[in-house]
Amino acid sequence: MKLRLLFSIFLMLSYSWPLGSASAATPIDTMVANINEAKQRLERTENKISKVRGALANEVRMLEQQVLRLRNETAVMRRKMDERTLSLSQLETRLSSWQEQHEYQLNLLDRFLLQSGEERVSLQQLTILEKVQKVGEQAQYHANQQVPHFTQGQVVLENGTIENAQTLSLGPITWYLSQDSNIAGIAAIKNGLLSSISTFDLHEIDNLRTLANDRHGLIKLDPTLGRATTRQQASDGMVEHVIKGGVWVIPIVIFGVVSALIALFKVVQLWRLPRVKRVVSGKAMESINGSTESGSLGSCSDNSFEGMQHALYHIAKHAETSAQRDDELFSQLQQDKIKLEKYNGTIAVTAAVAPLLGLLGTVSGMIETFRMMTAFGASDPEVISGGIAKALVTTELGLVVAIPALILNAVLSRKSRQYYDELESFALVLSNDQCELTHRDVQHQEGAIKCSSS
């Protein structure tokens, strides 16, 4: 802006300059000389202004610092003047508030250090400066925990060997990586030593190695903090679980196997029985064989019925007298009932005895547990809980055997009773039908006698 203004002024001066003075030089040369001179003067002026500006800035900064210092001194002097005018009670109030603030800060320090793992006895022996230093160390430790930071340490592997490995701790979870042995996994503190609780496969080992080398990667995380692994290791197979029950498991298992075989046999037996044809009167027998005779047993062929129903029909058809027929029908029904209900009692006995055997095994196991507690004391809870768990295995197994046995016994007994009731109804129909036939024969003979006598 200044150059433009000076250039305009020189142009005006050059045009207003007398023409007689331009005899020595041309107007263009004069103009260039004037511009150069003006430019030099401008540069000198700008340099002078910059120097003055720097000096003024330094002076202003020094004055501002003096003002701040004077303000602080004024505040101190004003506080001193106020304290001179304060009463003794006001001074005591201020001192009390300062002491409360001091106690509050100390309590915050102690609480933070206690949560960080320090012992209360050791905190009482530390000075305030040492507490502040420990807080700073904890703050630095937590800051380092925000990024993957591997440290060298020793890890006790699952086979009992001690391995030098890199460890990474993020909160309550610790990973370990052994570059030499190509082993990695999750570790936890056990008995004061860092022990492995699970191992990784090759893919997860490569991910952890990438995290250790490149500071970024994907790693396996156990949100249960090892509880899932511990539960998986503590879980037993079905055979191992049953063996824990001891000697009383043997009769329970035998009862269960026998009941299962009998139930399978009874299911096959009842399923293979032919269906009982419902017959409620002699007319129904006519409909079975399609006969037009008046409801006689002879109207039905031997092939009309099957199985137990055929045996009843055969007895009723070939019986000579009604008394003989009824006795044979009753005897056949009793045989069929015995055949239908055979072995059902074994399943019922199993359903009743299996829980008692389980309870007996539990009582024996509890007695053994209390005997161990008497001999070795009750200081170890694992011994007590393990003994009780083993003692309850027999009760569990007894109920597992008894409940299905009870259900199977009820179903099979109901099916057998239903089939027997149908056979019994058919036998009653046979008996009543034979009585009607006998009565008709008697009437027919009486009529024939009357006709012959007349």
* Domain map (residue ranges) of the chain: 2-70, 147-234, 249-453
pLDDT value at position 7? 58
pLDDT of residue 281: 57
More confident residue, 154 or 444: 154
293 compared with 213, residue with greater pLDDT = 213
316 versus 344: which is more confidently predicted? 344
Q: Which range (79-88, 170-179, 321-330) has the least confidence?
A: 79-88
**Tokens 């990784």 correspond to what residue?**
200
**How does residue 352 score in pLDDT terms, banded at 50, 70 and 90?**
very high
Q: Is pLDDT at 403 greater than 90 in this prediction?
A: yes
pLDDT of residue 201: 80
Residues of the chain with pLDDT > 90, as a percent, come to 9
| pLDDT band with cut points at 50, 70 and 90 for residue 453 | very low
The per-residue pLDDT for 293 is 44
Q: What is the mean pLDDT of residues 417-441?
A: 68
Q: Kindly indicate the confidence band of residue 133, based on its pLDDT and cuts at 50, 70 and 90.
A: confident
Instruction: Say whether pLDDT at 266 is over 70.
Output: yes
**306 vs 116, more confident:** 116
Strand partners, 151: 167
Q: What is the pLDDT of residue 125?
A: 80
Q: Which two tokens stand for residue 233?
A: 């290791």
The mean pLDDT of the chain is 76
Which of 230, 289, 248 has its CA nearest to residue 391?
A: 248
In order of 235, 243, 250, 310, 401, the CA distances from 238 in angstroms are 10, 9, 15, 49, 14
> What pLDDT is attached to residue 64?
92
Q: How many CB atoms sit inside 10 A of residue 374's CB?
A: 9
Q: Which of 97-101, 125-129, 419-423, 444-448 has the highest mean pLDDT?
A: 97-101
**Residue range 105-122: average pLDDT?**
82
Instruction: Kindly report which listed range (69-73, 221-225, 326-330) carries the lowest average pLDDT score.
Output: 221-225
**361-383 mean pLDDT:** 77
pLDDT band at 226 (very low <50, low <70, confident <90, very high): low
Two tokens, residue 53: 């500006």
Taking only the tens place, the pLDDT of each residue in 44-102 is 888 888 888 888 888 899 999 999 999 999 988 888 777 776 667 777 888 888 889 98
pLDDT at 261 over 90: yes
Per-residue confidence (pLDDT) for residue 426, from 0 to 100: 78
Report the interhelical angle of 322-340 vs 381-453 (nearest 10°).
160
Q: Whole-structure pTM over 0.75, yes or no?
A: no
Q: Is the pLDDT of residue 375 over 80?
A: no
| pLDDT given for residue 437 in this prediction | 46
**pLDDT level of residue 2 (50, 70, 90 thresholds):** low
